[in-house]
Amino acid sequence: MKFIFLASFAILFLGCSSASLTSTWNRTKQASYNAATDYVSWTPLLGATALYSTDYDTQLTNYIIDKQFLNNDLDDTFRSLNSYETYLSGLFIQDASYATKGKRILSEVFAFQSSVIASDTLNHIDKRSPDNIHYYAIGSQHALGPFAGSAMTRRNVAQLSIPQWSKYTLNSISYATATASALTRVQEQGHSFADQLIGASVGNFIGIFMHDIFMLDEYTTLHASVYNNTHYLQFNYRF
């Protein structure tokens, strides 16, 4: 799966003409800009930088570990609730066609899978966990995946024809489950608080980027298929 994703992006950016690159780059640049300037991308990143540069990350992490605010047995439940809301919010949007609806759901699947790859990549950073057992503490899927989901939920909710207070409520629930998922791993001493802020930042970037690069272009398509009990996710990107 990792190879498929990496190869797809390599073909996407290297296998086209210079004229095509201009069109492709403009859309990719806009999606990247939207993701990077989103406040949930840069605010946690600044917070993590401040905590890493001081001893406050250790102090705050130890405080969360001592207090145990949440039930650690619910860590995967929080993740599941978060992803369910992402998919359901996408289903309730009045898209122009079933093809657009399918692309929306598949873009969400693509974002969640991309967060797994990002987690594996961040795990190559030599960072010790609070329990001093692991040396790959930054790449937490309990932060990356849910915050990618919350970013896409926020994009979906903005398109729903519901009162504004309902939109605030749905977004609050989504970010509450994402935060709870990330904090349970801090309580379990798998990651520090600043580690999870990094995960929230990168996850949000992935969610916004994947939504905007696929859903803001009506000619870009996504397809899912199964062959010999293997699942494939394919996309056609307009150059």
Query: DSSP characters for 99-150?
Result: HHHHHHHHHHHHHHHHHHHHHHHHTTS-B--TTSS-SB-S--HHHHHHHHHH
Average pLDDT over residues 113-125: 91
Could you tell me if residue 181 is inside a domain? yes
The predicted structure's pLDDT at residue 186: 96
**Dist. CA 95–CA 102, nearest whole Å:** 10
Could you tell me if residue 18 is inside a domain? no
Could you tell me if residue 141 is inside a domain? yes
At how many degrees (to 10) do helices 193-215 and 98-122 cross?
150
Could you tell me if residue 85 is inside a domain? yes
Residue 5 has pLDDT above 50, yes or no: no
pTM over 0.75: yes
182, 194, 104, 190: which is closest to 147 by C-alpha? 182
The predicted structure's pLDDT at residue 112: 94
The predicted structure's pLDDT at residue 29: 87
Could you tell me if residue 2 is inside a domain? no
Could you tell me if residue 26 is inside a domain? no
**Dist. CA 174–CA 152, nearest whole Å:** 10
Domains contained in the chain, number: 1
Could you tell me if residue 65 is inside a domain? yes
Q: Are 203 and 151 in contact (CB under 8 A)?
A: yes
DSSP 36-73: HHSHHHHHHHHHHHHHHTSSHHHHHHHHHHHH--S-GG
Host domain of residue 58: 32-236
Could you tell me if residue 20 is inside a domain? no
